[in-house]
Amino acid sequence: MKRIATLFFLLAALTPAWSMSTKHENRSIGENGREARQAAKRYHKYSKKAGRKQLKAIKKSQKAQRKAAKRAQRRRTR
């Protein structure tokens, strides 16, 4: 009787795990064409945005360097 109860208990405990593993079987991004295209589009959009942000930061630092060089040159001529 104890063996049957233990077997039943194990079966009841493992049933939800089996059903969860088969529920989302075909939902990864690589297997769904539409989701893959959308993910690629989002990646492209945010990488472009990050690139623009980086270029803006580079230009800002270059401008600050030019200003500092001008100030340093004015101090030397005075």
Distance CA 53, CA 42 (A): 16
Which pLDDT does position 56 carry in this prediction?
A: 97
pLDDT tens sequence across 22-31: 555 556 666 7
Is the pLDDT score of 78 beyond 60? yes
10-60 pLDDT, tens digit each: 777 777 666 665 555 556 666 788 888 999 999 999 999 999 999 999 999
Q: From CA 69, how far away is CA 76, in angstroms rounded?
A: 11
40: its two tokens: 């690629």
The residues, any chain, with a CB within 8 Å of residue 32's CB and separated by 6 or more, are 26
Query: Does pTM surpass 0.85?
Result: no
Is residue 71 over pLDDT 70?
yes
